[in-house]
Amino acid sequence: MPLPLLALAAGAFAIGVTEFVIMGLLMQVGASFGVSTSTAGLLISGYALGVVVGAPVLTLATARWPHKRTLLVLMAVFVVGNIGCAIAPTYELMMAARVVTAFAHGTFFGVGSVVASNLVAPGRRSSAIAVMFTGLTVANILGVPIGTWIGQLAGWRATFWAVALVGVLGLAIIARLLPADRPECGGSSMHDDLRAILRLPVLMGLLMTVLGYAGVFAVFTYIAPLLTQVSGFGARAISPILLLFGGGLVLGNLAGGRLADRSLVAAIFGTLGLLLAVLLVSGPLFTSRVGALFAVAALGFATFSTVAPLQTWVLRQTRGAAESLASSFNIAAFNLGNAIGAWIGGIALDRLGLLSLTSVAALFPLAAIVAAGLAVTLQRSPVARRAA
């Protein structure tokens, strides 16, 4: 794998830390602004919605820029957004700074996926995308615990200053290692790009992503009460157990990339099928401590094994400048799935109880597999080939 992929992974690491680190600091942030912990939790929702909106908007705005310039500007926006979080005097301004930071997220991963896939031979593109996303998985294992520790030691604002510094380092690494490229010019228009996104195989790919990640976050959002109230662990055990989830993310991410390079269709059905199976068996597993440990690690592996195949699918269905737009839309779809899953999981929790979460969540990857079948059928149909 070429060295510039490490630059993309460095940027992904920085963005991953800022997305997830606030989860361990919600009580401190809420107390600082005089709001409840649940209100502080809306900073997570605001970030996710910022990704959903910002990914297509910024990708369209920068569609004719060189990719390197786009990534550098996005990292600069990321740094400014985290500095805004660090100095925000009110909750409202903190929310605004989080949304600004989120705008960089979707487009960075969308454009970065295209850049990564173009740095390697065609047969290794999914693995290249997986390497970039490794930065995001490592952020969960190392960056988030360290950021939480900094916040507990020196206050939550210190965490965001530290994340801004990581962003500066990521910007410098991208500037140094990523090769220059030419702007997209004389190619498809914005209308053509949007038309490419609206093709049914692309839309079905986006739907697969939404459904798959709705299933993940219907469970993972409520992993703490599952571990404490169902599995019987103490509250202090949650963080070490989540290291198993992070380790599963790394291994699943790389495995999904390798599998997609060999056979993309098989990788999509295989990884979504694995996610379905893990959710179905994890319900009984959570009723014991040993089983819960296995379930958490398996859920992490299954979760990120789907990333490279799903991202590669939308890239293959589009061409030229539309690749970046489709890729960014897929990043938005990941976050939309997160929001839907947390919402549906909350409803299931209130009405059916904790043990219902995994069964309800399994319905989503099952629907994603059906969508995958439709997508493959559409992609292979003569009408779809002529439209392409």
The per-residue pLDDT for range 53-77, each reduced to its tens digit, is 888 888 778 877 888 888 899 999 9
**E-assigned strand segments in the chain:** none
* Helix-, strand-, coil-residue percentages of the chain, each rounded to 5: 85, 0, 15
Query: What is the per-residue pLDDT for 111?
Result: 83
Query: What is the per-residue pLDDT for 192?
Result: 67
The per-residue pLDDT for range 10-26, each reduced to its tens digit, is 888 888 888 777 766 77
Query: What is the per-residue pLDDT for 211?
Result: 94
pTM (2 decimals)? Answer: 0.77
Query: What is the per-residue pLDDT for 38?
Result: 65
Query: What is the per-residue pLDDT for 183?
Result: 61
Residues of the chain with pLDDT under 50: 185-186, 386-388
Helices (H), 21-143: 26-33, 37-61, 67-87, 91-118, 125-138
List C-alpha distances in Å: 155 to 24, 139, 149, 217, 238. Answer: 12, 20, 9, 28, 21
Q: Residue 353: is it exposed, middle or buried by C-beta count within 10 angstroms (0-12/13-18/19+)? A: exposed
Dihedral sign (CA 138, 141, 147, 150): negative
Query: What is the per-residue pLDDT for 270?
Result: 94
Query: What is the per-residue pLDDT for 35?
Result: 82
Going by CATH, does the domain composed of 1-184 fall within 1.20.1250.20? yes
Residue with tokens 């379905």: 276
- 145, 364 in Cβ contact below 8 A? no
- Cα 121 from chain centre: 25
Number of neighbouring beta carbons within 10 Å of residue 244: 20
CATH 1.20.1250.20 region(s) of the chain? 1-184, 186-388
Query: What is the per-residue pLDDT for 37?
Result: 65
CATH number, domain 186-388, options 1.20.1250.20, 3.40.50.410, 2.102.10.10, 2.60.120.10: 1.20.1250.20
Tokens found for residue 353: 């109880």
